Chain A
Amino acid sequence: MNAPPPARIAVVGASAAGLGVVEGLRREGYAGGLTLIGDEPHLPYDRPPLSKQLLTGEWGSDRLGLRGAAAIEALGLDLRLGTKAVALDTRSREVRLDRGGAVGYDALVVATGAAARWLAGTRGVAGVHVLRTLEDALGFRAELRPGVRLVVVGAGFLGAEAAAVARGAGAEVTMVTDAALPLGDVLGPVLGGMLAGVHVEHGVRIVSGTRAGTVLADHGRATGVRLTDGRVLDADAVLVAVGAVPNVGWLAGSGVPLGDGVECDATLYAGSGVWAAGDVANWPHPRTGSRIRIEHRTNAAEQGIAVARNILAGPGRAVPFDPVPYVWSDQYGLRLQIYGRTRGTDTVRIVEGAPEDRKLVALYADGGRVRGVVGVNMPRATRGYRALVAETAALDERSVA
């Protein structure tokens, strides 16, 4: 016999991961009390379009909703939007809210995601932006005009996507990265080089191997960026895209193990009735044993579903979360897709297409085993190689074209 499910489940964080949990619970037949707490005023909405369709203006904010209002209604939630969890008491099993009062629970899921990292001292300077929330995206979009000088600090997926959109809007874009190549650490020199080439072709100026030191401002408005090597880049607007930090501040002193995120076990359980899902969750990957935290949209949904199942399975029956991570990125006309892990691998082999054609599939291997696959403009073909990642197949023995 399974233990009876917890009578009251509370989920903090009303975005992709939190929604995954509550939908997963209802789909599995959970009929108990379910509270979803989110500090944003909106119904759960999607972030990937913030740096893509919303930023280009192709979509209005009305298209971002993860589910229609009726579908959310049908979940039968005690939904608290515009409400921030400010503290957790794991002894009395209560979440304290900024509006006063508390929510009791038998099982709690932390799905509070991550917040954009800022450059020190730049918060509140007009013209300096991050890109994480709908309001961020709308504020940044308003800067994108022909001729505006934009400095993008950071050249990860977010910075690269924003640079592409900004060029499309006619901005003069300079991308600053401390790496040798934009996305070079994720994609390696060949694909990173191809991508850098695409940006340059579209008129993005890439300043690599240096960091942004400080933002220069005049009367509270950004005028440029001083690099750590002393150079100054003039700017009318600055986008800070240097990563995100997990939202765990409200858990301080609760006894929930914190490090880079909520430190869970392999089943995403952090002890004393607390689970975590999405960008905030840090867990030992069952296959590699090392702790990871993944900031991908698909991971948030999948972890939400996994946590829902594990809560209902009850103690001793929860199963480890063992995904093949997936992420995509759109830049100009390119669609990049990645299954598994590419960072830190020692071999890249292109198995279909070619960089010159901007259409290819590449396998990333470490010690002769396939760890990741990257596709450029070949979505269906790329998916075909996912199995090699799932099996960590030997690079040579398998169907490599």
Chain B
Amino acid sequence: MEISLDFDKCCGAGQCVLAAPEVFDQRDDDGVVVLLDADPPAEEYENVRRAAQVCPAAAIDVRP
């Protein structure tokens, strides 16, 4: 799975961290998303896709 993040779009909502805490975190100061695991295991795929879908800034792109 390929995850790309648009840090510029990210509004620091943290919804991605709630959906996939193993894969995403936020920077302390401005809340911008941090990718903890660029190549997560298959059991995380569902969480990552959910994160991409709930991200209110459409900042997460997941392929395939």
Contact = CB atoms under 8 A, between A and B. Distances in A.
B40 interface: no
Interface of A: 20, 23-24, 27, 46, 48, 63, 65-68, 71, 297-298, 301-302, 305, 326, 328, 330, 335, 337, 379-383, 386
Contacts, number: 62
Interface of A is mostly: helix
Nearest to B28: A380
Contact of A328 (B13, B17, B28, B49): B13
A67 B58 contact: yes
B41 to A, nearest CB: 19
B18 to A, nearest CB: 7
A298 B53 contact: no
Contacts of A298: 13, 15, 54, 56
Contact of B53 (A23, A68, A297, A335): A23
Interface residues of B, number: 22
Contact of A380 (B31, B55, B61): B31
A27 B53 contact: yes
Interface in B19-64: 26-28, 30-31, 49-50, 53-58, 61
Interface of B: 9, 11-15, 17-18, 26-28, 30-31, 49-50, 53-58, 61
B14 A383 contact: yes
B53 A383 contact: no
A337 B18 contact: no
A191 B13 CA distance: 20
Nearest to B52: A23
